């Protein structure tokens, strides 16, 4: 059993679970589906009010431009909400990064909009675990951490972005900027399992759109003069399936294109996702993809333009990251919390942070489950539990007892 000092015990016992729950309930009453700009703006203002209790400067950061490929192959602009950044003691020689996201996967038109109690300790609702509960943990942990004498010697940035659920494309550069020079990072995705298990190493993830241009022709009179873009897209999808190997999964997800049945289609868009487990596999896939595209272009006499890429780099467990996980486990043991971790198939902003060379534990948020569904739930006692864990981790990271 890890030892805990009277001061550390007092830190942990200062967590106000009722106040944290009130924040979650108020924030989850605001629809913040990615792209719901009014809802995200309202949530940003709520966060600014709540985090004003901490020292430092709050900034509203405009989203970087993002484009997406429409069904007709043209690139269209994607609108995202502003990102929230709190900077505390920016000149401190030792600084941390804490991240979360305000957006959810539930748009305004989705039926899942309200909260309900499943039992005395379990709250069901949009974003309760992923991750407005996590934001409440960040705020409570930092509020208590500021009472530690060790806090005065360190600084930190808090980033709450508005587009994590769609891949953080408009905040990726901001994440990299804020990660620069940090000695450690904590991200507040919910635990990998309801028992509090953390996510360890993660694969990378990339989303692509292959825009295929062929040549139209009459399907009855002169089909030989056409170059069928839909057929080329299907061939590319099958080739991508066959390119899978251990540690590399590829999911051809959708083909758009075609017109009337009597026209050889001259246009198609193939959309696919790739998940490489290691940086080496990601690099090899990028090379193999160019070869695959060249083969399809030659065999089907079509042009292919590729849009997208790997936006979440693979996140292996480095020695530095393992040391941070060990600290979290030791702090959990001191608080009577059993902490372990396991590999995850999912991705998050922790991937982006780790790619900057910063050790990160990215599931420091609440215990809960069924995220991205209308069964999403939060185990309410975990609000104070996980906030106490974070406060102790920050205290010891900063040279506390």
Burial 373-388 (b: 16+ CB within 10 A, else e): eeebbbbbebbbbbbb
CATH topology agreement for domains 6-202+315-397 and 205-312: no
- Domain 6-202+315-397 belongs to what topology? Aminopeptidase (3.40.630)
DSSP 8-state assignment for residue 2? -
Distance spanning both ends of the chain, measured CA to CA = 16
Residue ranges per structural domain of the chain: 6-202+315-397, 205-312
Task: Give pLDDT tens digits for 160-198.
Answer: 999 999 999 999 999 999 999 999 999 999 999 999 999
- If we measure between CA atoms, which residue out of 176, 54, 130, 30 comes closest to residue 362? 130
Quick one: how far is CA 233 from the chain centroid?
A: 29
Q: Cα 360–160–189 angle (5° rounding)?
A: 50
H/E stretch holding 182 = none
CB 20, CB 387: distance < 8 Å: yes
The continuous run of DSSP H or E covering 194 comes out as none
Residue carrying the six token digits 């960040």: 138
pLDDT digits (tens, 9 = 90+) for 312-338: 999 999 999 999 999 999 999 999 999
pLDDT digits (tens), the chain, 401 positions: 679 999 999 999 999 999 999 999 999 999 999 999 999 999 999 999 999 999 999 999 999 999 999 999 999 999 999 999 999 999 999 999 999 999 999 999 999 999 999 999 999 999 999 999 999 999 999 999 999 999 999 999 999 999 999 999 999 999 999 999 999 999 999 999 999 999 999 999 999 999 999 999 999 999 999 999 999 999 999 999 999 999 999 999 999 999 899 999 999 999 999 999 999 999 999 999 999 999 999 999 999 999 999 999 999 999 999 999 999 999 999 999 999 999 999 999 999 999 999 999 999 999 999 999 999 999 999 999 999 999 999 999 999 86
Helix (H, G, I), strand (E, B) or coil at 91: coil
Assigned CATH for 205-312? 3.30.70.360
Check: CB of residue 361 under 8 Å from CB of residue 340: no
Measured CA to CA, the distance from residue 93 to residue 153 in angstroms comes to 8
Q: Which one-letter DSSP state was computed for residue 114?
A: -
Output the DSSP codes for 303-339: EEEEEEEEEE--B---HHHHHHHHHHHHHHHHTT---
For residue 250, the cross-strand partners are 274
Q: 260-284: per-residue pLDDT in tens?
A: 999 999 999 999 999 999 999 999 9
Q: What is the pLDDT of residue 1?
A: 62
CA neighbor of 88 nearest in space, from 145, 45, 171: 145
* Cα–Cα–Cα angle for 295, 301, 303, rounded to 5 degrees: 80
Residues 6+ away with beta carbon under 8 Å from 61: 82, 83, 84, 85, 171, 174
- What does DSSP assign to residue 220? T
CA atoms 132, 138, 139, 141: torsion sign: positive
Predicted TM-score (pTM) of the model is 0.96
């Amino acid at each position: 059993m890890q030892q805990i000092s009277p001061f550390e015990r007092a830190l942990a016992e200062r967590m106000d679970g009722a106040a944290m729950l009130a924040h979650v309930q108020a924030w989850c009453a605001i629809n913040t589906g990615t792209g719901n700009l009014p809802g995200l703006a309202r949530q940003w203002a709520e966060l600014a009010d709540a985090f004003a209790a901490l020292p430092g400067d709050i900034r509203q950061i405009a989203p970087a431009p993002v484009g997406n490929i429409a069904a007709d192959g043209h690139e269209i602009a994607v609108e995202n909400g502003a990102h929230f950044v709190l900077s505390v003691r920016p000149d401190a020689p030792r600084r941390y990064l804490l991240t979360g996201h305000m957006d959810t996967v539930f748009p305004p038109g989705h039926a899942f909009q309200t909260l309900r109690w499943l039992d005395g300790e379990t709250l069901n609702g949009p974003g309760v675990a992923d991750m407005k509960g996590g934001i409440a943990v960040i705020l409570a942990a930092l509020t208590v951490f500021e009472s530690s004498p060790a806090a005065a010697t360190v600084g930190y940035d808090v980033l709450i972005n508005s587009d994590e659920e769609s891949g953080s494309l408009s905040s990726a550069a901001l994440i990299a900027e804020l990660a620069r020079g940090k000695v450690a990072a904590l991200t507040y995705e919910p635990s990998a399992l309801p028992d509090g298990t953390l996510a360890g190493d993660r694969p990378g993830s990339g989303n692509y759109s292959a825009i295929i241009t062929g040549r139209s022709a009459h399907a009855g009179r002169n089909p030989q003069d056409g170059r069928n873009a839909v057929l080329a897209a299907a061939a590319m999808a099958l080739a991508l399936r066959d390119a899978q190997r251990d540690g590399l999964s590829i999911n051809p997800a959708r083909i758009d294109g075609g017109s009337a049945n009597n026209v050889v289609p001259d246009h198609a868009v193939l959309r696919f996702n790739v998940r490489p487990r290691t940086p080496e596999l990601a690099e090899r896939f990028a090379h193999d993809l160019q070869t695959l595209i060249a083969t399809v272009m030659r065999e089907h006499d079509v042009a292919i333009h590729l849009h997208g890429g790997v936006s979440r780099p693979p996140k292996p467990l480095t020695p530095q990251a393992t040391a941070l996980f060990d600290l979290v486990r030791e702090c959990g043991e001191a608080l009577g919390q059993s902490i372990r971790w396991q590999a995850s198939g999912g991705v998050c902003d922790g991937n982006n942070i780790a790619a900057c060379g910063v050790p990160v534990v990215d599931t420091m948020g609440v215990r809960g489950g069924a995220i991205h569904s209308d069964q999403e739930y939060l185990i309410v006692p975990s609000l104070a539990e996980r906030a106490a864990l974070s406060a102790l981790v920050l205290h010891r990271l900063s040279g506390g007892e």
